[in-house]
Chains A and B, each alone.
Chain A
Amino acid sequence: MRFGGSEDPHYVFYPHNFIWHIPVNTDRPGLYIHVPFCLSKCGYCSFYSVSSTHLIPEFVQAVVNEMVFYKETFPSFDTIYLGGGTPSLLSVSQIDDILKAVHNNFNIDQHSEITMEVNPGDVSLEYYQQLRKLGINRLNIGIQSFDDAILKFLGRRHTAREATAAIDHARKAGFKNIGIDLIYGVFGQDIKRWAKTLQKALSFAPEHLSCYQLSLDKQTSLFKRYQQDSLPMPSEDQALDFFKTTSRTLTQADYIHYEVSNSARSDSLKSRHNMKYWRHVPYLGMGPAAHSFDGENRWWNTADVEAYLKTIDEGKKPVEKSENLTKEQLALEALFLGMRTKDGIDLEQYKTRYGSDLLMEKRQTINELIKNELVGLKDGRLYPTLAGMAVADSLALI
């Protein structure tokens, strides 16, 4: 075993003697790697994935090659996120290859948050132990529910029992930062039934909990099923009830409900990688369909594994499209992203970055929103209340 014995991730020795400078964002960018393979497609999921797992070896090589394109423009990161798809379909050595290449091509801060998404159905205790040795220090487990009927309805290939085992194994392997994904608002799931799943999740005291309301893109199979069988989605009031009940439950359990769908046990346990999205910090995405943002431009890779492999093979960037964002577009993004988070936006910083003085320009509306307890103003920040967070999209349109 290459990593035998050592408890510490071996990447801490990589240097990080560089200066990263982006005029508008002082934070370092995050690195995302999309692993677009799934054994089966969950009915609600619209992320890009394919079941052709025989392409995985080629994919790993292609991602490694893709890094070369960005080593100059994105020299350093302090978060790495392996998402999907199902990254846990990759073998330990394939993940090792990817992470090694990351360290070879970029400067990775020694205190980086390195997250991997895992499917509770796939993973053995040993696999978890190996992941830890590769330097992965945060797991995001796609539990979705502790209710077998709901899991089946959603098209998940694991059971509640496997979900429990997955968390136990992760703990046993020594992971100190575990995130759990759950879904609510599923057909047949009332608040009481949802509360059971939520309580079960809390019993593991995960460091991080993502609770998503089920939302279905038109191309998903579950959407078609809802349509065919005329299944109801929660009404606006029911959705709000789910949202508020979830928030209340988690807050009472001492979690910080810091983003629409995300809660953490402490500030330092928030998903540092995902926070970059909401705080408009640059990120580099690699792999098919991955998106990137450098503070002014956003571009995305082709959402087709074979085209992705071929383009990289030809020595070209697999970018499908890119857009240059105007100041107005950046301002709108910053606002709708900021209003998703408990901390909201720093008005002074917003003014400096986007040239828009919200307090001056929208005084009357903001006053009305404060009066209606949708937003608050404190320490120079405009932040949404819980009710405000529920209408974050509209808050962005003030």
Chain B
Amino acid sequence: MKNIRNFSIIAHIDHGKSTLADRLIQFTGVCNERNFQDQMLDNMDIERERGITIKSNAISLPYRAKDGKEYILNLIDTPGHVDFSYEVSRSLASCEGVLLLIDAAQGVQAQTLANLYLAMEHNLEIIPIINKIDLPSADIDRVLEEIDSELGLDPDTHIKCSAKEGTGIEDILEAIVLRIPPPNGDAENPLAALIFDAHYDSFRGTIIHCRVFEGTVKSGDIIKFMYNGTTYKVEEVGHFLLTRTKRERLSAGDVGYIIAGVKTVADVRTGDTLTLQERPCSQPLPGFKEVKPVVFASIYPIASDDYQDLADSLDKFKLNDASFIYEKDSSAALGQGFRCGFLGLLHLDIVQERLEREYDLSIILSVPSVRYRFTLKDGKVIYVDNPTHYPDPAEIAMGEEPYIRAAMMLPERYLGTVMKLCMEKRGVNSNMNYTGPGRVELSYEMPLAEVIFDFYDRFKSVTQGYGSFDYNIIDYRESNLVLMDILVNGEKVDALSQIVHRDRARARGLNACDRLKEEIPRQMFKIAIQGAIGGEIIARSTISAFRKDVTAKCYGGDISRKRKLLEKQKAGKKRMKMIGSVSIPQSAFLAVLKSDND
């Protein structure tokens, strides 16, 4: 156990986490150049393309240190987005130390801070790493100053590196060995293993990723999930080299996997404790929390024939994404579909993209919504995350919506515009802190619905990319809510309905009508788009018909060419939803959430 180090890399997005992980993997020789590919730990295409880590991942790096001894360095990768902060906390709980990566040009950012706080909560050894020192805009002195003043860490403990160029990697590995403490625990104690992730393998079922704190687990053992008491027989244990590698046992201090015939990842809860049925540990490891989705939207197949395909795909998808939930739903305009819950908008985006890419589905997502709380006149309290289920306004005694606390870091020069933006988004109780010369830490309490409504994009835009943002949900607060419907050619499209604050309704309605006008292509007849509350029309726009598109000539040689053109257009149209006789593109449903006053 003395030769094990469990660590994680934490960083603000784009500060180079995946690249550093790649270098550590290369340096320790787990993989040869031939099967190396960038962002080794990011398995999904989507992760590589977007440069973010969606799921946690782990790898064991064998390393012979300068002291001549062999070590196993377990690197536990963490997701890098606010939507997944609970997953991050469970990964950190599995470590004894972290590499806190800071971009030499950008310096300390909001997630650097948020991640540092998380690491401190878990009493982890923190090694500050200044990355990207090769950049011409690198300002190491300023970063050192920030490490001292903003993070409160000893700047002398830092290590400089350029993950891109591969410099400073050995210093980092040595620091991991020397400064991160070896795990504690006793292999003879009752088993206590923390689940920090799980993924689905179509041959073996669920692969549980865990960190063993106490005791030992081996194949043949009967394990018990402490959250719900279910038991399974262990088929295989092992650790993660480049691929899963079977071992005889996992003991206190180890990071590895367990295969135990668990059918879906939904049966496994991240943060739960595994123990042995025979000889259970007295209490679960601390920090377990059930993850609840905060953003909801319905998914419909574009062609109603594809409903069964969609259902099957969601089933399969769910196997590998425990935080995604769904249930049957139906829409007057869009037919049969599913109501789904997501951890945030990025999660929603990812789910949509994966369904389309991995399952080849053409889907429409309804306008995302948060979960509202209504107290009815008869005293009943209901939660509504689907505008279709909006209660009869006459029955509502009180409406409430979820609030978040937003933490932002930005250069002082953007303070005015950001505060204006926050106020526009109904932000209250602001708090401001100068964390260094010219840098401000700003916090606001805001309705979650406003954050979903294009806050992040506009925040990034007004701070020209220099601002960073993080949020926590805090509570429900009373709010004057109304249901706003959208009518396309006089027909209500329920998937475009939104629950909005009354003071915002008209502006939102106008915005939605304008955006739809941009998104819905001109068709052969005029299309009216209206926003309505109850029977009252509050906003309107019109899409004019196009009047001439036919080509002048079409003889023998033109027919194939023309057909190919039309086939292309037809394929594009297939990705649109026919509502009445109007084709509405997929993009329209999410566009109503975006505003154009960037």
Contact = CB atoms under 8 A, between A and B. Distances in A.
Of B546, B550, B552, B560, which is in contact with the most chain A CB atoms at under 10 Å from its CB?
A: B550
A393 B557 contact: no
Interface residues of B, number: 28
B137 to A, nearest CB: 41
A397 B566 contact: yes
A65 interface: no
A2 B567 CA distance: 52
A374 B563 CA distance: 21
A369 interface: yes
Interface string A235-247: 0110110010000
Contacts of B524: 369, 372, 374, 391, 394-395
Nearest to A259: B554
Contacts of B549: 390-394
Contacts of A298: 559-560
B580 A236 contact: no
A261 B552 contact: yes
A323 interface: yes
Given A333-B559, A368-B525, A394-B524, A260 B580 contact: no
A240 B546 CA distance: 10
A22 B77 CA distance: 67
A374 B525 contact: yes
Given A212-B553, A337-B554, A391-B524, A365 B581 contact: yes
Given A236-B547, A372-B525, A374-B525, A364 B581 contact: yes
A260 to B, nearest CB: 5
B566 A390 contact: no
Contact of B552 (A32, A213, A391): A213
Contact of B551 (A32, A300, A393): A393
B131 to A, nearest CB: 48
A293 interface: yes
B559 A293 contact: yes
A260 B550 contact: yes
A277 B560 CA distance: 11
A390 B581 contact: no
Contacts of B570: 332, 397
B282 interface: no
A277 B20 CA distance: 64
A246 to B, nearest CB: 11
B38 to A, nearest CB: 39
B548 A212 contact: no
B552 A215 contact: yes
Contacts of A243: 548
A240 B547 contact: yes
Contacts of A289: 557
Contacts of A236: 546-548
Contacts of A240: 547-548
A319 to B, nearest CB: 13
Interface string A317-349: 000000100000100110011001000000000
Contacts of A340: 550, 554
A148 B164 CA distance: 68
Contacts of B553: 212, 215, 261
A28 interface: no
B504 interface: no
Of A212, A239, A364, A394, which is in contact with the most chain B CB atoms at under 10 Å from its CB?
A: A394
Nearest to A271: B555
Contacts of B552: 212-215, 260-261
A336 B524 CA distance: 15
A374 B552 CA distance: 18
Contacts of A389: 550
B554 A277 contact: yes
Given A32-B556, A277-B555, A237 B562 contact: no
A285 interface: yes
B569 interface: yes
B64 interface: no
A133 B547 CA distance: 46
A354 interface: no
Interface in B517-564: 523-525, 545-557, 559-560, 562-563
Contacts of A285: 556-557
A11 B524 CA distance: 49
A214 B549 CA distance: 13
A12 interface: no
Contacts of B548: 236, 239-240, 243, 390-391
B527 to A, nearest CB: 11
A395 B557 CA distance: 21
B556 A290 contact: yes
A329 B563 CA distance: 8
A297 B549 CA distance: 27
B573 interface: yes
A309 B304 CA distance: 54
Contacts of B547: 236-237, 240, 387, 390-391
A301 to B, nearest CB: 10
Of B556, B559, B562, B569, which is in contact with the most chain A CB atoms at under 10 Å from its CB?
A: B556
A393 B566 CA distance: 8
Contact of B573 (A274, A300, A364, A397): A397
Nearest to A278: B554
A208 interface: no
Nearest to B525: A372
Of A212, A278, A364, A372, which is in contact with the most chain B CB atoms at under 10 Å from its CB?
A: A372
A337 B549 CA distance: 14
Given A237-B547, A390-B550, A394-B546, A329 B557 contact: no
Given A372-B524, A374-B525, A336 B563 contact: yes
Contacts of B562: 336, 393
A333 B546 contact: no
A50 B524 CA distance: 41
Interface string B263-289: 000000000000000000000000000
A387 B550 CA distance: 11
Contacts of A369: 524-525, 581
A300 B550 contact: no
Nearest to B549: A393
Of A215, A300, A340, A397, which is in contact with the most chain B CB atoms at under 10 Å from its CB?
A: A397
Contact of B559 (A215, A337, A364, A391): A337
A260 B581 CA distance: 25
A41 interface: no
Interface string A47-70: 100000000000000000000000
A289 B554 CA distance: 15
Nearest to A300: B557
Contacts of B525: 368-369, 372, 374
Contacts of B545: 372
Interface in A43-91: 47
B557 A290 contact: yes
B566 A332 contact: yes
A383 interface: no
A381 B328 CA distance: 42
B557 A364 contact: no
A325 to B, nearest CB: 8
Interface of A: 32, 47, 212-215, 236-237, 239-240, 243, 260-261, 274, 277-278, 283, 285, 289-293, 298, 300, 323, 329, 332-333, 336-337, 340, 364-365, 367-369, 372, 374, 387, 389-397
30 contacts: A212-B552, A214-B552, A237-B547, A239-B548, A274-B555, A277-B555, A283-B556, A292-B556, A293-B556, A293-B559, A323-B560, A329-B563, A332-B566, A333-B559, A336-B562, A364-B580, A364-B581, A365-B578, A368-B580, A369-B581, A372-B525, A374-B524, A390-B548, A391-B547, A393-B550, A393-B551, A393-B566, A394-B523, A396-B566, A397-B566
Q: Which 10 A-B residue pairings sit nearest by Cβ, starting from the closest?
A: A368-B581, A392-B550, A291-B557, A212-B552, A291-B556, A372-B525, A390-B548, A213-B552, A365-B581, A240-B548
Given A236-B546, A395-B524, 4 more contacts: A215-B551, A300-B557, A390-B550, A392-B549
